[in-house]
Structure 1
Amino acid sequence: MNLPINNTGDLILDDIDEQDQIPIFLKALIRILCQIINHDIGVSINWTHIDKELKQWHRALPTEFISPITQELSDPATVPETWFGSDTCAITMAFYHMARILLLVNQPRDLFLATQKDESSDLLSSYNSLQRDLNQHSMEIIAIAYGMRGIAVQKYMVQPLYFAGRCLSDSKDRESVIGLLKCIEEDVGVFTGYRIRDLSEEWGIPVEESDPPVYNLSHGC
């Protein structure tokens, strides 16, 4: 990927203009995602190493990534929209939240229980805490998908939306994911039916391909 990194994998950005750093951070994140996919992250030492890399990556982000504009809509039941100054920033942050989801759902059980901050918490409260973290990252992905409606961003949202959908239990949030995936297929031409089927099977809710798109009317398609 031709990344400016040192022997420990840290990015070397001292002589690079902040605007030129944006695509570098996307490439660096893709490198971390490849590690998540290709390594056995069920092994604690592998998971810990990749989690550390992702945290270091996030701490080094320029302000363009961490200062988006989020519009809180008047209806509290409606997902907010998040906008970024560039398409690359939006794609990168959607991938970041997907990476966080992948790490959370694949965290070794012994490591997960050992890292709980509250020693008095039982197993149920620990898993509830995990679900809150998963839901937060999932809703961030949905907000980016609603806010950044250009083709340049939408064509990369299929996998983040799929993994976000796997973490959701609220029926309206699930409908939002299905609606967004159907909009992507209609507007961008990227096939999303297989991911809609995967989610429907996992949720135990059949969704026929012939069904009309399920749109969130507050956002449109």
Structure 2
Amino acid sequence: MDVMHAISHKTATLIPCESWLPRNHTVQQARALFMDSKFDVNESRDMYANYMVFLLARVCRLVYSGSLQQDEFEAEWIELYTELDRWWQDRPAEMHPVVSMFKDGTPFPSILFCVAPAISGTQMFHTAMILLIKYKTRVVRPLPTLAVDPVMRKSLIWHAKCVVGISLSNSDHGCLNNALQPLWVAGKLMSSKEEQHIIVQLLRDIENTTGWSTSWRIRDLQEHWSY
């Protein structure tokens, strides 16, 4: 909820990222905590998704706080960009989609997962990438060279369409609730009336299905689209 509030209000999380961790641990040590071998298979899957929530919190602090000097911003941006790539490349098998494809004549991909952590974790990954890419112009150094890097060089629009496609393809109620702010971030990048209509209908369906209010975000998107 803190991360969703941060995205909605374009601010850092109310609870500082360091306070999410045990005392005397830095954010750079967080990966080891979330990937601890003591977790069983189900716990490990949940914690892998939880780590993406933490990374998204760090991204919100970076892009919205405005408190860093240029060199500090650049160093943190590069660190997060590299860590997001690592999260993507190291995903366990159950975090991968069972279907990922664009169908002819449809603006959004079908991206189907078997487990809820994969749904929300991947959707938050794409949201974090959108926010990072939007603020990339402040990074003057060349991007880091990554060993396997097909997804990290994708466009804002590609990441945004994945955010929408994930919610269109997966009906888990908890994940649909988590999707409201990612859909707002992604929806602002959609320019065609067809894409916009699909997103509005999706948000209405989420409200009807889960009871979670989405109408206010529909109004925000329509205002952004100049309806």
Superposition TM-score, scaled by structure 2 size: 0.72
Change beyond 3 A, Cα 1:201–1:161: same
The one-character-per-residue Cα deviations of 1:138-179 (angstroms, maximum 9, x if unpaired) are 111111111112322211111111111012222211211111
Deviation at 1:136, TM superposition (A): 0.8
C-alpha distance in 2 between matches for 1:111 and 1:85: 40
Helix, strand or coil at the partner of 1:10:
helix
Query: How many residues are aligned here?
Result: 189
AA aligned opposite 1:58? W
The aligned runs of 1:140-179 (5 Å cut-off) are 140-179=162-201
User: SS of 2:197's equivalent?
Assistant: helix
Match of 1:198 in 2: 220
Which of these residues, 34, 43, 55, is aligned with residue 32 of structure 1? 55
Q: Which moved more, 1:5-14 or 1:136-145?
A: 5-14
Which of 53, 61, 74 lines up with 1:44 in the alignment?
74
Greater helix share, 1 or 2?
Answer: 2
1:91 to 1:40, Cα distance in 2 relative to 1, 3 A: closer
Please state whether the residue corresponding to 2:132 is helix, strand or coil. Answer: helix
For the 8 Å contact 1:82–1:143, the answer to whether it is kept is: yes
Cα distance in 1 for residues equivalent to 2:62 and 2:106: 39
C-alpha separation in 1, matches of 2:102 and 2:63: 39
Larger Rg: 1
For residue 117 of structure 2, the aligned residue among 48, 68, 88 is: 88
State the AA in 2 paired with 1:85: C
Query: Which amino acid counterpart does residue 10 of structure 1 have in structure 2?
Result: R
Does 2:160 match 1:138? Answer: yes
The counterpart of 2:31, out of the listed 10, 25, 28, is 10
| TM-score, normalization by structure 1 | 0.73
Structure 2: runs of 5+ lacking an equivalent: 1-19, 67-72, 146-152
Counterpart amino acid of 1:86? V
In the alignment, the residues of structure 1 paired with residue 30 and residue 62 of structure 2 have an alpha-carbon distance, to the nearest angstrom, of: 16
The alignment status of 1:106 with 2:135, answered yes or no, reads yes
Output the amino acid matched with 1:64.
E
* Letter in structure 2 aligned against 1:94: Q
Report the secondary structure of 1:111's partner residue.
coil
User: What is the alpha-carbon distance in structure 2 between the residues aligned to residue 166 and residue 182 of structure 1?
Assistant: 17
Specify the SS of the correspondent of 1:190: coil
| SS of alignment partner, residue 185 of structure 1 | helix
2:206 is the counterpart of 1:184: yes
Task: Give the direction of change, closer, same or farther, for the CA distance of 1:25–1:199 in structure 2 (3 Å limit).
Answer: same
What is the aligned partner in structure 1 of residue 90 from structure 2? Answer: 60
